[in-house]
Amino acid sequence: MNRINAHNLACPIDGALLVCHDKQLRCEHGHSFDIARQGYVNLLPVQHKRSRQPGDSKEMVAARARFLNSGLYEPLASRLARITSALVPENRKTSLMDAGCGEGYYSDTVFKYLEDRGASSGLSFIGLDISKPAILEAAKRNRQITWLVGTNRQPPVTPASIDIILCVFGFQSFEGFRHILKPGGRLVLVEPGPDHLKELREVIYSEVKKSRPQDLTPVMETGFSLVDEQSFQYKTGEISKHIIADLLLMTPHFYRTNKAGREAAAHLEVLDLTVDIVFRTLEFQNP
């Protein structure tokens, strides 16, 4: 069974601190949550669910795991690990959350990078996702990370207890993030740049628009300020039919395109793709 290494977990029903008792997390008001035998905890109460099976489906999670395990996004994951590592102070306990962690590829890569540099001993690392199938996969990747089913809208940790949040192509809830970041805490957003996967988009859409990372101006008025921005591009080299299919299934493009677009993608034999990513680091101070 995974150990629950995080000590700042909060009851999703009343916000009280959760304490580990044997195979459960309990709050002082009697709410209890089982630590599943796979080593994760479900902290998503029905009242926080907006659908019966929220988040990515089992099929999307499996496609993403196959795609990411192919190593095509390894340069992106390594860049994220370097950016994160530069934010982790030496000799100080650090609490980190990957918010919308999916099946845990980036959390695991970042954790191992920090571990290799001796920076994991004072580290509490939480991987949070609303999709239970995603967290079930993530729990297989790394037993030192605390894996939680929960929502970025109301992350189940105590207020002002997180030093660093990573949000990689994830659901961004700035309200949720503000609640849990310490003053001076950092939020690292990883988003598609203008040319991300443009070769695939040219096949599946009749008109291709440049995808811009979202405008953060309104967010800046709520205590966040931009402290770093980096663009990162590379080409994958030719990728095969099966990997193209997995890539399409794991992205929102699968639902955004129409039947003709999906069929055009299915006829592709190979594709050389542009990966174009923007990393933005925001600092949080209470306004």
Summarize as ranges the residues that interact with ligand SAM (CB under 6 A).
Answer: 55-56, 64, 100-102, 105-106, 129-131, 134, 151-153, 168-171
In this structure, is the dihedral angle defined by the CA atoms of residues 273, 98, 188 and 214, taken in order, positive or negative?
positive
For residues 36 and 190, which CB has a smaller minimum distance to ligand SAM in the complex? Answer: 190
Q: For ligand SAM, which is the closer residue by CB, 123 or 130?
A: 130
Residue 241 CB, shortest distance to ligand SAM, in Å, is 21
The response to whether 20 counts as a known ligand-binding position is yes
Task: Considering the complex, state which of residue 118 and residue 252 has its C-beta at the smaller distance from ligand SAM.
Answer: 252
Amino acid at 137: E
Contact present, 285 and 183 (Cβ < 8 Å): yes
CB of 92 to ligand SAM, least distance (A): 26
Q: Sheet of 181-192: strands edge to edge?
A: 40-42, 146-149, 123-129, 94-99, 162-168, 181-192, 270-284, 224-240
Distance CA 235, CA 275 (A): 6
Ramachandran quadrant class, 186 (left: phi over 0; alpha: psi -120 to 50; beta: rest): beta
State which residue, 56 or 276, has the beta carbon closest to ligand SAM: 56
Tokens found for residue 12: 């999703």
DSSP state of 211: P
What is d(CA 67, CA 195) in angstroms, rounded to the nearest whole number? 19
Q: Is 31 annotated as a binding residue?
A: yes
- Of the two residues 50 and 267, which places its CB atom closer to ligand SAM in the complex? 50
Q: 59: annotated binding-site residue? A: no
Q: Is 28 annotated as a binding residue?
A: no
Smallest separation, CB 258 to ligand SAM (Å)? 20
To ligand SAM, the closest distance from the beta carbon of 189 in angstroms equals 11
User: Smallest gap, in angstroms, from Cβ of residue 128 to ligand SAM?
Assistant: 6
CA dist 113 and 106 (Å) reads: 10
73 is in an annotated binding site: yes
Given the complex with ligand SAM, which of 57 and 286 has the nearer CB atom?
57
Look up residue 33 and give its two tokens. Answer: 């949550």
CB 80 to ligand SAM: min, Å: 10
Element (H, E) at 41: strand 40-42
Binding residues: 20, 27, 31, 73, 103-104, 196
Annotated binding site for Zn(2+): 20, 27, 31
**Residue positions forming the annotated binding site for S-adenosyl-L-methionine:** 73, 103-104, 196
